Structure 1
Amino acid sequence: MEERNPLSLFFFPFPKKTVNLNCIFFIGLSEIKDLLWKTAMLHICKTQLQGSILITEMYEIIGSHSLHLSLSFLELMRSGRLMSLSVPAGDLNSLLPDEDGRRLYIGMKDYLLSTSLDDITQTPCKIYWPASPDRIQNCIMAGKNLQTDCANFLRVLELYNQTHLYACGTGAFNPRCAEEQMLQYEDTESGKGKCPYDPHQRTATAMIDGELYAGISSDFLSHDTAFIRSLGERHVIRTEQYDSTWLQGAEFVHVAAMSESDNEEDDKVYVFFTERAQEAEGAAGKVLYSRIARVCKNDIGGQRSLVHKWSTFQKARVVCSVPGPDGIQTHFDKLQDIFIQRGKEKKNPLIYGLFTTTSNVLNGSAVCVYRMQDIIRAFKGNFLHREGQQYKWTEYTGKVPYPRPGTCPSSTYGGFKSTREYPDDVIFFSRTHPLMQEVVNPLGGHPLLIRVGVPYKLTRLLVDRVEAVDGQYDVLFIGTDSGLVLKVIHLPKDHSLISVCVCVCVFCLQQWLFAGSAEGVVQLGLFHCDLYGQACAECCLARDPYCTWDGHSCSPYMLTARRRNIRQVNDDGNPLNQSGLQVEAEEKTLVVAVGNSTYLECLPKSHHATVTWFKDVGENSLEQHKLVVIDRGILIPRAELNHGGVYHCQLEEHGFRWTAVTIRLIVWSPTFVSAQPWYQDVMALINHGKLERHCKELSQRHSNKESGNHKHNKQDRKRADRHRHRGGAEKEKGRGRKNRSQMQISAKRLPRSA
């Protein structure tokens, strides 16, 4: 998601069906510091797909707020920066940016594409990598579908080093991997433990120090879900197989390495997933919980037990719920996506989680934020324990062996050089007690953002750190299963906590968002500053961290700019006063006949603004008449004389009030008798320029008609002279005078329209 000049959102034609945003990422991340937040919604862009025409519109805002900026598809097209890349083969699943090589890798069915990261419309390089004919035939004989199962669906894309890409595909239920640039089937290696058999199973991978960490379903039937480390010089290591206390039907979401201390020996790898929770199963049946698990990077398994298995594996529940007034929590238990926002302090990142409900009754999504110290605290807490299958899970109250299970081997803790030197009781305890009692609660104890009762779910999440004059802000970009892209900003509660760090944004002039679905990739800009309006106050009220008032227009904010830009994001201070401008109210005059309907419209550019209508003091109140006050105006179904008056549309946003529109409504009746004809009042309401033009047209028609009458008079006089010479002078003479008199009277008449 990024931009060159003003912001644009880029979409492309899709086939006639719902689009699911499978992957979403952007280029140009800055650094972050731990903050406290409150939510403020900026704007949301919704895409509706109808045949080959893509309609882009702004949709209602999350929560009780509303969108700020509404963009139509035509406006995006006119911006001239709509970039898209369709993939005829379909089933796009993986996107991988290579910022050093300025390339974008796209994994799909039987193909690996490579296109420019700066302009995806450039012709991509294609590598055809199908499954072998024998494997396709075996897949079909196993009862799988030729189109949706028996092909090579690329599911793993990782940068192996600066010159090679490591890719894995399902290979028609026979996963294969390769790291060579020219992918030929005979040059590949087995992908077991690296890539799933089933293309419909979700996979989470990360290449860390030349080793592949993968959360996958590792067997043909997708029963064995495992977290596995492979490649590199060390032996393959994985979670305990077919042990439901470790993993039970896990669906992996994200893998990341995080440092907890200055000691590199204590570095760990975290994996986020959703699984069936044994501790919650009962009469209600299966229950899903979101989890976070971790292992030590230097874990090589045990000596006599847990051989080639993780000996430091631990997991804890991640909670994202809404506290109810009666103490009952509304939980969002299915994890959809994770984004880790790192700052200068690498050990204290913020973790953004995107969750959905698992209930068929309540359909909703939520975003929760977690601090690293809260996660570490959960893993330092007590363990859960169960005596047997017929017993409930309870807190473990016995003695915990030393070194504490989950501790990484290092000189700091007992001088153990590897996990193989751990005592047997430590390895046994790690095997039987992987679950922690304490849960990881979100920052503030509640979700940052909630969306319920809508026909879509939030599925993908990205966060961009933006540097502003008054601090740093995180902007969320959220994808949905129906093709929406949501844009949300966080404002910190306590501005004194902000430590302004001047970051160098490498791609500040080319900030793009890349979104992929099964049919293709789009390149979207992060902001549309020029669409917020031409006034300083409108730009300030937009509160878009990407935009600033430069003295002439609303333009993208650049840290390198040496001008004194006005950029108001937080709630302190009045943007109208900061801009040095006052918003002038638009004045209108409307005329309506008695008994007819009319509509008083007020359309603020900012949909954050609250609209309130007033009449001048002394006028009758709105409630006394049959008026319908709707979201953006007043509807008068049947006008009456007492409806006339001056109406004021007042806007309020973030505590600031101003009058946007003043409407003078005149109600007249054709039967109403006044001192002067009613049409004079109507003519007085016509615009002066239009009235003058109307009078000129009437004068021109009058002149043309008078000229025509004069010509007819000359012809009549000639005929009268001829009749006189023929003896009928007196009769024709009288007739001629009568005709001339009628013509003169007719010529002096004014048109009815005058």
Structure 2
Amino acid sequence: MRRLVLLFIFLTWDYQIVFSVGLQDAPTLGSKNNPRLLSKDTVSGAFEYQVYQNHSVFFYHEDSGEMYVGGNDFVLKLDMDDYGIAEKFILNTTGQQQCQEGPCENVITVIERFQDSLFVCGTNGHRPQCWKLFSSTNNQSHEIVESYEGTGISPFVYTQNALSLTVEGDLYAAASLDTERNSLQFRRKAGSRSNVWMYDSWVTEPTFISASLVKQTEDPDNEKIYIFFREKNSDHSPEADPWISRVSRVCKVDEGGSKRFFQNMWTSFLKARLVCGFPEESLYFNRLLDVYMMQAEDWQDTRVYALFTSSWNSTAVCIYSVGMIEDIFENSTFKGYDKDIPRPRPGACVKNSRSLPRATVNMVKDYPEMADWVHSVHYTAPFYISSNNYTKIVVDQVRGVDHHMYNILLLATDCGKIHKVLAAGSEPFIISETRLSNNSSIQSMKLDSKKKKLVVGFSEKISTVDLQSCQEYNNSCADCVLARDPYCAWTKFGCAPTVPGGIQNVRDGQINVCSTSVEEQKQVNRAKRETVSSSPVNLRTVHSVPLGVPFYLSCPIDSYHAVYTWEHRGQSSPCLQMQSNCLHLIPAMAQENYGVYECVSKEKDYIKVVKKYQLTEQIIPDTNTRIINPNEINGASAVVLHTVSIILGLAAAMLH
């Protein structure tokens, strides 16, 4: 018995150091800059690769639910309902046989719905190739009927920058023309319209991030494709950032210039600096990482959610409107140009670009950059700043009980986590964090807004996250409402996917919407202190502990936005945070340590008892005066052994 006690004292001698180690990957309690909840059991399905993939690309057709995944030498069609392989085909990779040096695999880099087929391109052993996959007659499988030269569509090596886009039967792409990453530019490569490309001096060592068409139903000839990229800064002074983020545009109807001048070149290309930061302090996040464009009925209200990083290791999200971007392109002066602007204005969409006056085309050729910068809708600061290293962003829209549409940012970190962030009002609210992988970063991410699921690709697997995982807030109406999760509302069945008539307060999470009965109103007037006796975590747990024995109590953390305390005999003490638990350590049991302990959380004005313990004294017989009953020794030892085993388990988990 004495050895066990000494062992435990040794283990807990520097418990504060041990606990601090356990906090390295857990949010700080009471801080709204961290996720409110660490989600569990939100992954609704997974498909594991037989061989790890260095690169994967997704094509997800939301209307049909078809999911295609491109990897190393293969394309998979997955059944997302049961994660079985509906179809698999190996592509004819003739380039691999001729590859002389370096990795010679065929890494799939492009999957698009193009014309009447699925269009797939890959590196093909440094000889980029594309294939059309046609549905067979029974529409149950695909077969490769045609193959094409893929240079300018797929990169030569999967690590090279590239992007692709299909618009109304036309294929647009950005990829290098050789292995040295030369002539990386945005082109129209195939389709019903003429092939067009960029003038070499328009961009400097670009990294293309995203391209999207913004539809104008009432004026389709004025529709434009917006391209987001970053490029090397021509200012090489030490204080200048090496990168500049850009938004550019080209007209969908652009067919290039006349045969005599600028033939097969964009006549509508314009670019502007995209800024995210603090203009008053001249402090900016200059490295654009990812972009998600949310289309609106009025094209000017289309929102651009852009993810940036900085030289001081922070990431930020800035939000722009297409209307504000267009205002710069339509009204700004041209950088470096101080003469009269010709008509039609350079960059304007015209039905016959080949007939444009030479003066207009010359302006595009020599002065494509706008003098004014594109600022975010919040202007004075980014919408969201974080110390997390985010790498990807998608945004979903959810209709709340109040019939308002709420935007949810889904942000991927560089260590396999997804943060769900509410964009309502002027400040973001971090709803939850979901860990999907312990050992790899996220390669691809696609949103299924209809099914409210997020499909995430890793080197080892594909996972699906259920965005309507409401059971995590199921303890009470207050827990459900405090989550401010527009996917979830309190109903007679508990916290469930949002339905009309459910209880919800997405805007500020005030729980007075839960107070629908007289008894509940009394609880609100008493600062909402609530003990849900039907919940297992709130049942009183009784421990019989000997004098002089070290002991600790633990309760689960339901919300990292809450502050937790331990209350005992009218005294409060702070919780000792260990990962997802709050602990209270008693170095050696004394008479004053016995009694009832309550683990209490407070979030806003909602107070609840998370867990309750009662500690009673266990008398250990004096071994010098009588024979020890083996059952008594085992009973006393069990308390210490239980505590030791838990500490050892926590230590092992931290080391792992």
TM-score (norm 1): 0.66
Alignment check: 8 A CA contact 2:401 2:499 kept: no
Determine whether 1:630 maps to 2:576: yes
Q: Match for 1:432: what amino acid?
A: D
Q: What corresponds to 1:378 in structure 2?
A: 328
- CA deviations 1:655-682 (Å, max 9, x no partner) are 4344545666778999xxxxxxxxxxxx
Q: Match for 1:373: what amino acid?
A: G
Q: What corresponds to 2:651 in structure 1?
A: none
Alignment check: 8 A CA contact 1:537 1:579 kept: no
Higher relative contact order (CA 8 A, sep 6+): 1
Deviation at 1:239, TM superposition (A): 0.3
Count of aligned pairs between the two proteins: 551
Aligned partner of residue 373 in structure 1, secondary structure: helix
Distance 2:360 2:450 in 1: 53
Determine whether 1:418 maps to 2:381: no
Q: Match for 2:59: what amino acid?
A: L
Q: What corresponds to 2:255 in structure 1?
A: 300
Q: What corresponds to 1:565 in structure 2?
A: 502
Task: Say if 1:62 and 1:363 are closer, same or farther in 2 by CA, change over 3 A.
Answer: farther
Deviation at 1:295, TM superposition (A): 0.6
Distance 2:281 2:62 in 1: 47
Alignment check: 8 A CA contact 2:347 2:364 kept: yes
Distance 2:565 2:28 in 1: 20
Aligned partner of residue 206 in structure 1, secondary structure: strand
Task: Say if 1:181 and 1:92 are closer, same or farther in 2 by CA, change over 3 A.
Answer: farther
Task: Say if 1:662 and 1:177 are closer, same or farther in 2 by CA, change over 3 A.
Answer: closer
2:291 to 328, 335, 338: 338
Q: Match for 2:47: what amino acid?
A: S
Alignment check: 8 A CA contact 1:154 1:167 kept: yes
- The 5 A counterparts of 1:58-137 are 64-72=32-40, 75=41, 81-88=44-51, 90-119=53-82, 121-132=83-94, 135-136=95-96
Distance 2:452 2:199 in 1: 43
Distance 2:74 2:541 in 1: 60
Task: Say if 1:193 and 1:419 are closer, same or farther in 2 by CA, change over 3 A.
Answer: same
Q: What corresponds to 1:491 in structure 2?
A: 424
- CA deviations 1:578-625 (Å, max 9, x no partner) are 464452274567776665544454434223222245566xx5x66xxx
Alignment check: 8 A CA contact 1:76 1:82 kept: no
Aligned partner of residue 347 in structure 1, secondary structure: helix
Task: Say if 1:572 and 1:489 are closer, same or farther in 2 by CA, change over 3 A.
Answer: closer
Deviation at 1:567, TM superposition (A): 2.2
Deviation at 1:638, TM superposition (A): 4.9
| Larger of the two Rg values belongs to structure | 1
Aligned partner of residue 342 in structure 2, secondary structure: coil
Deviation at 1:282, TM superposition (A): 2.5
Aligned partner of residue 480 in structure 2, secondary structure: helix
Determine whether 1:451 maps to 2:386: yes
Task: Say if 1:268 and 1:251 are closer, same or farther in 2 by CA, change over 3 A.
Answer: same
Distance 1:334 1:598 in 2: 51
Deviation at 1:558, TM superposition (A): 3.7
TM-align CA RMSD: 3.5
Determine whether 1:139 maps to 2:99: yes
Determine whether 1:405 maps to 2:346: yes
Distance 1:442 1:385 in 2: 20
Alignment check: 8 A CA contact 1:58 1:69 kept: no
Determine whether 1:255 maps to 2:192: no
Determine whether 1:291 maps to 2:246: yes
Q: What corresponds to 1:272 in structure 2?
A: 228
Q: What corresponds to 1:735 in structure 2?
A: none
- CA deviations 1:119-156 (Å, max 9, x no partner) are 3x222312211421xx435532xxx31x3xx2322211
Deviation at 1:331, TM superposition (A): 3.0
Distance 2:85 2:514 in 1: 50
1:219 to 168, 178, 185: 178
Alignment check: 8 A CA contact 1:176 1:191 kept: yes
Distance 1:490 1:286 in 2: 29
Q: Match for 1:363: what amino acid?
A: N
Deviation at 1:240, TM superposition (A): 0.7
Alignment check: 8 A CA contact 2:391 2:413 kept: yes
Alignment check: 8 A CA contact 2:478 2:511 kept: no
Structure 1: unaligned runs, 5 residues or longer: 1-56, 387-395, 410-416, 495-505, 671-682, 687-754
Distance 1:612 1:114 in 2: 51
Deviation at 1:654, TM superposition (A): 3.5
Distance 1:565 1:64 in 2: 26
Sequence identity (%): 27
Deviation at 1:227, TM superposition (A): 0.7
Alignment check: 8 A CA contact 2:566 2:574 kept: no
Q: What corresponds to 1:194 in structure 2?
A: 153
Distance 2:342 2:531 in 1: 74
- The 5 A counterparts of 1:228-627 are 228-241=187-200, 243=201, 246-259=202-215, 262-278=218-234, 280-283=235-238, 287-303=242-258, 304-322=260-278, 328-357=281-310, 359=311, 362-383=312-333, 385-386=335-336, 396-409=337-350, 417-445=351-379, 446-452=381-387, 457-470=389-402, 471-492=404-425, 510-558=451-499, 564-571=501-508, 573-575=510-512, 577-578=514-515, 580=517, 581=520, 582=523, 583-584=530-531, 586=538, 596-612=549-565
Deviation at 1:210, TM superposition (A): 0.6
Alignment check: 8 A CA contact 2:29 2:562 kept: no
Looking at secondary structure, tell me which structure has more strand per residue: 2
TM-score (norm 2): 0.75
Alignment check: 8 A CA contact 1:352 1:369 kept: yes
- CA deviations 1:48-96 (Å, max 9, x no partner) are xxxxxxxxx9867997444333345xx568xxx4332425373442111
- Higher alpha-carbon deviation: 226-235 or 657-666: 657-666
Task: Say if 1:420 and 1:331 are closer, same or farther in 2 by CA, change over 3 A.
Answer: same
- CA deviations 1:682-728 (Å, max 9, x no partner) are x9xx9xxxxxxxxxxxxxxxxxxxxxxxxxxxxxxxxxxxxxxxxxx
Task: Say if 1:429 and 1:566 are closer, same or farther in 2 by CA, change over 3 A.
Answer: same
Aligned partner of residue 348 in structure 2, secondary structure: coil
Aligned partner of residue 530 in structure 1, secondary structure: helix
Structure 2: unaligned runs, 5 residues or longer: 1-24, 136-141, 428-446, 524-529, 533-537, 621-631, 636-656
Task: Say if 1:379 and 1:76 are closer, same or farther in 2 by CA, change over 3 A.
Answer: closer
Aligned partner of residue 199 in structure 2, secondary structure: coil
- The 5 A counterparts of 1:620-659 are 629-631=575-577, 632-638=582-588, 649-659=599-609
Distance 1:261 1:159 in 2: 22
Distance 2:604 2:145 in 1: 64
Q: Match for 1:473: what amino acid?
A: Y
Task: Say if 1:558 and 1:572 are closer, same or farther in 2 by CA, change over 3 A.
Answer: closer
